[in-house]
Structure 1
Amino acid sequence: MQPYSVLDLFKVGLGPSSSHTLGPMRAAERFVQHLKEQGKLDTVVQIRADLYGSLALTGVGHGTDKAVVLGLCGLDAATVDPEVADHTFLQVKTDERLPLPGGPVLRFTMGECVRFFTDVFLPEHPNGMRFTAEDEYGIVLLSETWYSVGGGAIANELAKNSAKRDLLTEFPDQRPYPFFNATELLHQAQANNLTIADITLANEVGLGTSEGDVMGWADHINEAMVSCMNRGMDLEGPLPGGIQVQRRAARMARSLRQQAAEDQLGVIDWVSVYALAVNEENAAGGRVVTAPTNGSAGVIPAVLAYIHNHMPRLTADDERRFLLTAAAIGWLYKRNASISAAEMGCQGEIGVASSMAAAGLAEVMGGTAAQAEHAAEIAMEHHLGMTCDPIGGLVQVPCIERNAFGAVKAIQAARIALREPGDHCVSLDEVIETMRQTGEDMASKYKETAQGGLAVNVVVC
């Protein structure tokens, strides 16, 4: 997909982490593809995957070892059944045999072939990995270094600056309403009397996707989010990982259905349930939509469910416009800062998701592009500095609850923005740059390494 397209912000994949699960799975699959393209697949007798930095420090809790194996087996994260994924990983571990798609079956011992280098950070990004394939004589047939740069996106060189470099040099800009920051986006909206969703749709069509396909994309993403949420609202019991975190969404939903209708805050409770349901599924390794990451996958679906279930005057087309607006805002963060918690902390995940949802909600509630921009700014402003310190290296505590709060903040940010005249003193561009600087200043122990914060102060049995 072209780097100008905003649709790539949402990807269907497996939990629990877009950067630690989906990204490595895609990179491993790409490595095997390159072996095949170079005619070297049949001569491979050994493959090693070396994980570095954040991928190593929280890799087991985030399922990175499993993701690498699944990718090497050629499984597609967007389509594989989670139960098939679990069975495949268990079989490789048990049999110590790795079937390469269209190639040989290799001897594969997890401890030898998937190695964690917790004290080594590769220079371009904290989420680095290196794949190496050797022949029977130990000669290296192919070695590739990849980076998982956030939201399931991968890059194999200069990861930190790859998006900007691609945008500026490698692709012609065919968008009728080009923009690279929020100021330019607002200018296009005001000069052409368009909403952010209008601009997003027109730009995607300009890049070669038909209007029908864009709307089909929005419906597909919406359906995947709703499916995940519904599964999460049906299931109970402990989440995997060993720290005995219990699913709560189903029992909370049951309680809400029984409570008195006059509870004026009941809607907010439902929004929390929607978000918890999605991220409990994510923590269990289920199929979720990166929005813009797996760790923040519950925020946008929760606000979508708020629109669908609690705002009856809004339509399916409003839900599509919500997603188009949210995607445009997320693209600004991805291009001008990062959506990787390993770079930004949790402000780059929950904060960005809340900002995206706030802008989308403001637009479908009748707000102008300026009010949507203001809503996005408000939501992020109150997530600045949020650390990523998962207990046990699992995407569970505090991650699941943070999605609920991110969704509620998004709703309130939109409501505040719609009651303002638009003369706020902090712009979205300024808050994005502030997030970037804050993330760079943040100590690495607070950026998805499980070396600080709750991860070291909470004793888990």
Structure 2
Amino acid sequence: MFISVLDLFKIGIGPSSSHTMGPMMAANDFRSRIYQLVAASSTNKAMHVRCVLKGSLAFTGKGHATDRAVVLGLHGYTPEALSEQDVNALTAELWTTHFFTVNKDTVITFHPDNDIIFDKQETLPQHPNGMIYTLLDENEDVLLSETYFSIGGGFINTLAEISQLSAPLKMEPAKSFPFPFDSARSMLEMSQQSNYSIAEMKRANELTKISADELDEGLDKIWHAMQRCIKNGLTTEGQLPGGLKVSRRAKKLFNQLQDDSNKKATLNDWLCAYAMAVNEENAAGHMVVTAPTNGAAGVIPAVLYYMVKHENGSLENVRDFLLTAAAIGGIIKHRSSISGAEVGCQGEVGSAAAMAAAGLCAAQGGTVKQIENAAEIAIEHHLGMTCDPVGGLVQVPCIERNGFGAIKAHTAAALARRGTGEHFMPLDNCIEAMRQTGLEMSHKYKETSLGGLAVSITEC
């Protein structure tokens, strides 16, 4: 299997990779299909679009801005293109436009309040994050229809694509790459045989598709975006949108740490400040790097930022970190899931922590066995974690949870490097345990806000 580091880490906007970025990409794809249909015909029929959101997208789509994402996508916007824009103002303008244009002069009617339907009745069997886009004429006859699935991390599949795959992934066959590992075990074996590190193997695979300069530029762009997101979060105050009236805390915490005259600030304090800064930006719908999801976007940047700012990490350390983390993330996505709607938050923050632990261990000079051990420790201690966002918003418990994910990642890397790399539970087995736990987990705890903390709030 192969999934590029530049696909696993994507620059976009909050608050969710599966509920915001994925639906936006699906809407944009459907817009392209309308364009092709119109270009191939000479019809002058009045046409309009309808979008039906299913499963988790229906239950928590409002809080995750799925409806806004659909509007933006149908108007031709992509997540990365919006990272520098005032998304709130743009959405407000497009919401009342009630149409979009393809082929310059073909008008497609679209009224978001009526044409986006949150269907909470039946979940599509292929995946809990389903959506059906339909183009209809004035008689409600279907001219074009496509079913999409947002499978986590901003990745999407059509019905045909997801039905053809044993796992809902867009990955290329392993045989075309020099190091075609599809498990932690094969990764360890290939490293031992080649005497390459995980980062070196991942780089070699990437270089079959792009040049070394393109890869490094892409990695550096990701790192710069992560830093910008942290800095934005550390300098912004106020209340987060959505109705819970949650106040931002990262700036205040950061200022306290900087003003700490007794130097009592701990590693945990700094990691929480950095991680919470990212996830407050995500909750506000601002620019964020999917790492590997938006709900878990603070873990990896926090650990990386601490490594650079407090432990003198170099740019080469950063690149090795990201390549190693991506190798681990690709294995998790291939063998299980990074989608909260599919396996709960163990698949989001748990995966991010495993990736961060592996990346940090690698950057600090850990052996391949120690790196695999670090990833296993981190994910093991997230097993069973539910996805139960209060109010369907990526705020409570998501923001603090990223801080604790970063702490666990750093601890896992440190613990692994203290050992020889020999350990009892292999990473592959731990990933399989996560998959099985997700399969048996009630849908109430998988990003539907029907259980757990989401229903444990008593209003006074």
- Return the TM-score normalized by structure 2: 0.95
* Structure 1 pair 50–338 and aligned structure 2 pair: CA distance change class (3 A): same
1:310-329 aligned at under 5 Å gives the runs: 310-312=310-312, 314-329=313-328
Match status 1:50 vs 2:49: no
Contact kept, 8 Å, 1:149 with 1:159, in 2: the verdict is no
Contact kept, 8 Å, 2:2 with 2:174, in 1: the verdict is no
- CA drift at 1:261: 5.1
Q: Secondary structure at the match of 1:289?
A: strand
Q: Which position in structure 2 is the counterpart of 1:291?
A: 291
CA RMSD of aligned residues (A): 2.0
- CA drift at 1:297: 0.3
Query: How far apart, in 1, do the equivalents of 2:47 and 2:118 lie?
Result: 21
Q: Which runs of 5+ in 1 are unaligned?
A: none
Q: Which is worse superposed, 403-412 or 98-107?
A: 98-107
- CA drift at 1:8: 1.2
* Structure 1 pair 35–180 and aligned structure 2 pair: CA distance change class (3 A): same
- CA drift at 1:148: 0.1
Q: Secondary structure at the match of 1:115?
A: strand
Q: Secondary structure at the match of 1:51?
A: strand
Query: How far apart, in 2, do the equivalents of 1:212 and 1:18 lie?
Result: 28
Match status 1:18 vs 2:21: no
Match status 1:357 vs 2:360: no
- 2:240 maps to a residue whose letter is L
Contact kept, 8 Å, 2:361 with 2:370, in 1: the verdict is yes
1:51-99 superposed Cα distances (whole Å, 9 cap, x missing partner): 0010000000000000000000001211125644322321233343445
Q: Which position in structure 1 is the counterpart of 2:140?
A: 138
Query: What is the number of equivalent residue pairs in this alignment?
Result: 456
- CA drift at 1:105: 3.9
Query: How far apart, in 1, do the equivalents of 2:168 and 2:11 lie?
Result: 26
- 2:286 maps to a residue whose letter is G
- 2:147 maps to a residue whose letter is T
Structure 1 stretches of 4+ with a deviation exceeding 6 A read 165-168
Q: Which position in structure 2 is the counterpart of 1:455?
A: 454
Q: Secondary structure at the match of 2:94?
A: helix
* Structure 1 pair 76–357 and aligned structure 2 pair: CA distance change class (3 A): same
Match status 1:255 vs 2:256: yes
Q: Which position in structure 2 is the counterpart of 1:156?
A: 158
- CA drift at 1:103: 4.9
Query: How far apart, in 1, do the equivalents of 2:134 and 2:228 lie?
Result: 38
- 2:254 maps to a residue whose letter is A
Counting aligned pairs with the same residue, the percent is: 48
Contact kept, 8 Å, 1:44 with 1:133, in 2: the verdict is no
Query: How far apart, in 2, do the equivalents of 1:44 and 1:13 lie?
Result: 33
- CA drift at 1:34: 1.0
1:181-330 aligned at under 5 Å gives the runs: 181-206=183-208, 208-260=209-261, 262-263=263-264, 265-312=265-312, 314-330=313-329
1:143-173 superposed Cα distances (whole Å, 9 cap, x missing partner): 00000000000000253873758789x7473
* Structure 1 pair 320–159 and aligned structure 2 pair: CA distance change class (3 A): same
1:270-326 superposed Cα distances (whole Å, 9 cap, x missing partner): 1110000000000000010100000000000000101110112x3110011000000
Q: Which position in structure 2 is the counterpart of 1:124?
A: 126
Q: Which position in structure 1 is the counterpart of 2:63?
A: 61
* Structure 1 pair 107–338 and aligned structure 2 pair: CA distance change class (3 A): same
Match status 1:433 vs 2:432: yes
Contact kept, 8 Å, 2:5 with 2:322, in 1: the verdict is no
Contact kept, 8 Å, 2:23 with 2:150, in 1: the verdict is yes
* Structure 1 pair 187–171 and aligned structure 2 pair: CA distance change class (3 A): closer
Contact kept, 8 Å, 2:369 with 2:422, in 1: the verdict is no
1:6-52 superposed Cα distances (whole Å, 9 cap, x missing partner): 43111111100000000000000000101112336975521000000
Q: Which position in structure 2 is the counterpart of 1:408?
A: 407
Query: How far apart, in 2, do the equivalents of 1:165 and 1:439 lie?
Result: 15
Query: How far apart, in 2, do the equivalents of 1:101 and 1:400 lie?
Result: 42
1:300-358 superposed Cα distances (whole Å, 9 cap, x missing partner): 0000101110112x311001100000000000010000110001100000000000000
Query: How far apart, in 2, do the equivalents of 1:105 and 1:46 lie?
Result: 9
* Structure 1 pair 9–195 and aligned structure 2 pair: CA distance change class (3 A): same
* Structure 1 pair 43–407 and aligned structure 2 pair: CA distance change class (3 A): farther
Contact kept, 8 Å, 1:4 with 1:173, in 2: the verdict is no
Contact kept, 8 Å, 2:35 with 2:103, in 1: the verdict is no
Query: How far apart, in 2, do the equivalents of 1:354 and 1:163 lie?
Result: 26
Q: Which position in structure 1 is the counterpart of 2:347?
A: 348
Query: How far apart, in 2, do the equivalents of 1:8 and 1:103 lie?
Result: 34
Q: Which runs of 5+ in 2 are unaligned?
A: none
Q: Secondary structure at the match of 1:162?
A: coil
Q: Secondary structure at the match of 2:82?
A: coil
* Structure 1 pair 434–459 and aligned structure 2 pair: CA distance change class (3 A): same
Contact kept, 8 Å, 2:35 with 2:102, in 1: the verdict is no
- 1:67 maps to a residue whose letter is A
Contact kept, 8 Å, 1:144 with 1:156, in 2: the verdict is yes
Contact kept, 8 Å, 1:92 with 1:108, in 2: the verdict is no
* Structure 1 pair 161–185 and aligned structure 2 pair: CA distance change class (3 A): farther
1:33-44 aligned at under 5 Å gives the runs: 33-39=32-38, 43=45
* Structure 1 pair 375–6 and aligned structure 2 pair: CA distance change class (3 A): same
Contact kept, 8 Å, 2:174 with 2:180, in 1: the verdict is no
Query: How far apart, in 2, do the equivalents of 1:330 and 1:346 lie?
Result: 15
- CA drift at 1:423: 1.9
- 2:225 maps to a residue whose letter is A
